Structure 1
Amino acid sequence: MSLKNKNLGDIFLTVYTSIADTLTWIQNSVFEGELSEAKLRELKLKIKGIIDQSEDSIIIFTNKIGYNMDKQILGKERMSTDNFL
């Protein structure tokens, strides 16, 4: 399912619903939760089918153990998040 020709509200709602089914909504467009690697792959595939990767951005921070965080961007990177606290 692609919403690339739909309005921004439809895209946001579809992405929000897809993520909220799996993770907990924290604030604005921020979600958190624990996912298996398989569930994360599934969620990323679902999101890639919804967003326009040349315009939209989804940033995923993963933390396996400890304080080392890995950042993955689906779509276009808008601003650097290298100084994430």
Structure 2
Amino acid sequence: MAGNRRNGRPYRRLCEQQRALGLPCWVCGRAIDYQLTGVDGQRHPLSFTLDHLVPLSKGGDLLDPINARSAHRRCNSARGNRMTVKQAGTSRWW
């Protein structure tokens, strides 16, 4: 297979379907501002990104809607390819 599947139409469609749900971040439980965009080529850390319940490196399906989750960019990055997430509300945010 040639090319990056994350640049294809099916992946972009899945991202748009997930974005349209308007769900909070599945990692931290906080609301996502779906209007945030990047500045100077940098993506905002609290912007929407498509995360996968089962990471792709662990055999998760890139295009399966059941595997798709809404997340903040920084939450997705911090989780990496771990199968678990810290439960929302257990960190000390004050």
**More strand as a share of residues:** 1
Do both share a fold (TM > 0.5)? no
TM-score with structure 1 setting the length? 0.29
